[in-house]
Amino acid sequence: MATKQNGVLGSFTPTVTPYTNDTRPANSLAVAATEFPFYTCPGGTMVSAKLVISNNTGGAAAVDIGIVEQTDVIQLDAPGSQPGAPSNYLGFSFPVGQYTSSIYLDGGNVSGSFTPGEVLSWTNPAMSTPAQTAIVQAWDASNSRLWVRGLSDANALYPASGDITYTGAGGGSISSGVSYAGSGTTRGNSGRIKFFDNLRGLLYFDNHEFRNNLDYSLAKFRDINQEVRELDNNNLNRSHLNRHRPVATTVDRIAASNTTPTTEFVDANGVELLVSGVSMIQEHQYLVKQKSINDADIFELGGIVLGQYQSIYVKSSAAVTATLIGFEETAEVAS
């Protein structure tokens, strides 16, 4: 189990504290976020803390604060716009703790088949590490579309030139590239399902490409021996190496002619579902909304207790400084 941290657990300054991701231009890596869940209570841990927000911006600032349990909230499009045009979302399956993805490749030269959960391997000379792997999420044989999750890099699927053949552990293969008309890949997102609200079509999602004090990658997140990025109580390292590539309502489809189709996530039954909206937080998760803090003043929110995988979220259009001060202690983990 990871070493428990104390004192300043995390800090975040909206419009200043950056995150980055694999798709950013080399000369513009940093994204200055206005909102971020900047600290997550690790697994097997309980946190007791207070949040201090300092305003030294020269004017009053409005701040939102919440406790969230996801990195992205994905709103599915209306039921009638989904395959089969059902009257509600009840027939769609996103089991808690399982995975979903909006990453797929359309290809040709298909041989054999693919099984969800098997390892997919390929070589992409355009990557610094050419040998790449992912996990098969779903196989749409009728459309030669392979859904995958857990890429090491958001750009790993598509060849910069020529073709790539992707081979499953079960022996199936599919190819994509200039030799295969209609082929292409999406630069989508994959991750773990926190919860699916099947009355409202809201998918609460833990993004594989998210990093705050925890590493949310599918290989490490929810492994209490690997997920914590900082073990030496170094808040600078914990709070200033953030990564995120938020889910969006459209996705880059990289092909001979690039397009941006509406994002789709695939459910546990292989149903490909359209997305209409994305946010970081829902109304029921706010503690404080549009709290006005005067210049040269502070706002303290005490009595905060976080259980495992609950996160402190802050949003403001002003460069206020949010500091979470407290301590972590070992908590019982459900067996």
Mean pLDDT of 220-243: 95
**Pair 255, 128 in one domain:** yes
My answer on whether 183 and 115 are in the same domain is yes
Would 298 be classed as within a structural domain? yes
- Stretch 236-262: mean pLDDT, rounded? 96
How many domains, the chain?
A: 2
Please check the confidence at residue 263 and state whether its pLDDT lies above 90: yes
Residue 201: partners with Cβ closer than 8 Å, 6 or more residues away: 75, 76, 77, 78, 79, 89, 92
Dist CA 189 CA 246 (whole Å): 8
Q: Does residue 199 form part of some domain?
A: no
Q: Is residue 204 a part of any domain in this protein?
A: no
pLDDT of residue 161: 86
Query: What pLDDT sits at residue 329?
Result: 97
Residues 274 and 295 in one domain: no
Asked whether the predicted pLDDT for residue 101 surpasses 80, the reply is yes
At 80 the three-state DSSP class reads helix
Question: What is the rounded end-to-end Cα distance, in angstroms, of the chain?
Answer: 15
Question: Is the residue at 200 inside a domain?
Answer: no
pLDDT > 80? residue 188: yes
CA dist., res. 82 & res. 254, Å (int): 24
Would you say 241 and 270 are in contact if contact means Cβ atoms under 8 Å apart? no
Please check whether residues 240 and 141 belong to one and the same domain. no
Please report the pLDDT score of residue 133 as a whole number: 98
Confidence of residue 2 (pLDDT cuts 50, 70, 90): confident
Looking at the fold, whether 60 and 95 belong to one and the same domain comes out as no
Residues 65 and 26 in one domain: yes
User: Are 97 and 50 contained in the same domain?
Assistant: no
The per-residue pLDDT for range 154-178, each reduced to its tens digit, is 999 998 889 999 999 999 999 999 9
Q: Is the pLDDT of residue 130 over 90?
A: yes
pLDDT value of position 58: 98
Nearest in space to 164 (alpha carbons), one of 155, 154, 172, 174: 174
Q: State how far Cα 252 lies from the chain centre.
A: 16
pLDDT tens across 303-322, in order?
Answer: 999 999 999 999 999 999 99
Q: Are residues 115 and 260 in the same domain?
A: yes
Does pLDDT of 226 surpass 90?
A: yes
The stretch 227-236 carries a mean pLDDT of 95
Residue 197 lies in a domain: no
Give yes or no: residues 151 and 269 share one domain. Answer: yes
User: Is 201 part of any domain?
Assistant: no
Residue 147 lies in a domain: yes
Beta strands in 280-318 (DSSP E): 286-293, 297-306, 311-315
The domain in which residue 144 lies consists of: 74-191+248-279
Same domain, 227 and 297: yes
CA angle in degrees (0–180, nearest 5) for 248-249-255: 85
pLDDT, tens digit, 9 for 90 and up, residues 14-66? 999 999 999 999 999 999 999 999 999 999 999 999 999 999 999 999 999 99
**Is 320 contained in some domain?**
yes
Q: What is the overall mean pLDDT for the chain?
A: 97
| Mean pLDDT of the 189-198 span | 98
Q: Give the whole-angstrom CA distance, residue 188 versus residue 149.
A: 9
Q: Is the pLDDT of residue 1 over 90?
A: no
The verdict on 226 and 309 lying in the same domain is: yes
Map tokens 């495992």 to a residue.
Answer: 308
Assess whether 227 and 148 both reside in one domain: no
Percent pLDDT > 70 in the chain is 99
